[in-house]
Amino acid sequence: MTTLADFTLPLLDGTSQSLAAYTGKAMLLVNTASKCGHTPQYEGLEALWQAYKDRGLVVLGFPCNQFGGQEPGTAAEIAEFCTLNFGVSFPLFARLDVNGPAQSPLYAWLKAAHPGDIEWNFAKFLVGRDGQVAARFAPDILPAALEPAIEALL
């Protein structure tokens, strides 16, 4: 059975990151964008990361330019935007596709557990310590609203 630990993806700085590094942790995976109405959710995602990282939660951001071209920048521009505007310190990966023929295998796997195309930027998947998808949340669900689901996994 495939788990999240089976995937390796490039970070924004180009280095490869195996998701196996997060084995035994709960994970929140979010497709992100810098020029979206939901972009202020970065602040809430960072707050979750700070509040729960010592208890076993990892927040992972996956920039995506598939929705209205709202993530057009280079990797360096994305990193700078997130750090300067929202103080993002959780891992950010290289831009990827979440839908369509060029979708990342990671997102194909996530959507197999909770079917349907990703609707927009800031769709969220919560993965349990067992590496399996526990829940999917729509883009308009604010990060703070995920706390009960996160608590249940920790």
Options 12, 26, 29, 36, the catalytic residue: 36
Q: Count the helix, strand and coil residues of the chain and give each as a percent rounded to the nearest 5.
A: 35, 20, 45
Q: What gap in Å lies between CA 78 and CA 63, rounded to an integer?
A: 8
Active site residue 64: no
Q: How far is CA 12 from the centre of its chain?
A: 13
Burial of 84 from C-beta contacts in 10 A (0-12 / 13-18 / 19+): exposed
Residue with tokens 């959507």: 111
For every residue of 116-139, DSSP letters joined together read S---STT-EEEE-TTSSEEEEE-T
Burial of 115 from C-beta contacts in 10 A (0-12 / 13-18 / 19+): exposed
Point out the residues that are catalytic.
36
